[in-house]
Amino acid sequence: MSQAAARRQTAPTPAAGEGAPFKYLDEAAIARLEIKKEPYEWGHVPDCMPQSLKEKVLADAPVIPTRGSYPIKSYFGLPRLRYGKHFDGVIQELLSDRFRKIVEKKFNMDLRNNPPCIVMMGNTTGHYNEGYAHPDSRHKIVTVLVGFTREWPYEKGRLRILRSSDRDDYAFEFPPEFGAMLMFKVSDKSWHGFLPQKGPRMSLQLCYMESDYYVRREYFRHGVSALAKSNPFLNKLIGIMPKNLYSLVNKGKR
C-alpha cells in the first residue's frame, strides 16, 4: 500500500478497550472538566489533546471539500470521511469505553445502551442558514464537540451556548480550534449555534444516541447530504434554501 493510500484510511479500527490508556486524548485535562448548570448542563476543556500532537494529527485529518457534516461510516456506498492513522487514533479513543465512562461520570448517567455516532464539519460558507440555533435531536443523549481547526481568528463562527433560540443570547463561545472540547447534555433547553463565518472550520461531533437505529439513520442522512453536496447544482440549491424551509426540514430531527 502506498503512503498516500495508508494516510487515507477509511474504516475505523476496533475501539480501544476500557483499560487501554489514551495516547492522543489528555485524560487528566478532560477529567478536570467542570459541568456548568446554566443555561443547561455543559462543560469545556481548552486542550483535550496535547498541542505537541497537533501537526501529525492534522496531517492525517480528512479533507472535507464543502460545507456541512460528513459521517465516518457509510451505508449503501454513500460518501464517508477518509483519514490517516493518527486521526483514526483520536477517533478510536473517543469511541472507547474509557472515554464513555468519563462522560458518564461528568453527567451522572449510564450511557452503556447509547451507541456513539461521529460526524465532522470541515468548512463554512458564511451563508445565513449556517449555525442556526437548535437544541439537538431528541434522539441524542449527550453531544461532545472537538475542534480540529488549525486556528480560528474570527469573532464569528464560534459555537455559542445559548440561553434561548436567539443566537445573540449566549453564555459561552467555543472556538473550533485544535484540542478544544465541549460537551453538553441534550434537552429541550440545550440551544446552541454560531454566527455565520466563511472559512475552514474543522469540528468533530460525537453523539451518544438513543439506539443503533438512530446511529444508522444519522450516518445515512449525512451520507445523502454529502452526496448531494458533491453535485454542484444540488449544492448551490441547498445553499440558497430559505431559512424557514431549512428549519422545517430539520425540525423532525430535533
Distance CA(8)–CA(62), nearest Å, equals 8
Please list the helix, strand and coil fractions of the chain in percent, rounded to the nearest 5, in that order: 30, 25, 45
Helix axes 212-229, 232-239, angle to 10 degrees: 110
pLDDT above 50 for 234: no
If one compares 224 and 153, the residue with the highest pLDDT of the two is 153
Question: 23-76, pLDDT tens digit by residue?
Answer: 999 999 999 999 999 999 999 999 999 999 999 999 999 988 777 788 887 666
Which residue from 156, 151, 85, 147 is spatially nearest to 121, judged by alpha carbons?
Answer: 147
Tell me which residue of 136, 126, 254, 117 sits closest to 195, measured CA to CA.
126
Q: Which homologous superfamily does the CATH classification assign to the domain defined by 25-251?
A: q2cbj1_9rhob like domain (2.60.120.620)
d(CA 142, CA 216): 17
The predicted model gives 135-143 an average pLDDT of: 95
Helices (H), 18-82: 27-31, 54-59
Per-residue pLDDT at 19? 64
Please check whether residue 61 is in contact with residue 202, taking contact to mean a CB–CB distance below 8 angstroms.
yes
DSSP class of residue 36 equals: B
How crowded is residue 66: how many other Cβ atoms within 10 Å of its Cβ? 17
Least confident of 113-122, 123-132, 173-182: 123-132
Whether the bond between 39 and the residue before it is cis, its omega within 30 degrees of 0, is: yes
Q: What is the pLDDT of residue 223?
A: 73
- Average per-residue pLDDT for the chain: 84
pTM of the model as a whole: 0.83
Over 50: is that where the pLDDT of 163 sits?
Answer: yes
Share of residues in the chain with pLDDT > 70 (%): 79
> Which is more confident, 19 or 207?
207
pLDDT in tens, 74-83: 666 666 788 9
Instruction: Report d(CA 193, CA 133) in Å as an integer.
Output: 4
pLDDT of amino acid 231: 54
Is residue 232 over pLDDT 70?
no
Return the higher-pLDDT residue of 17 and 125.
125
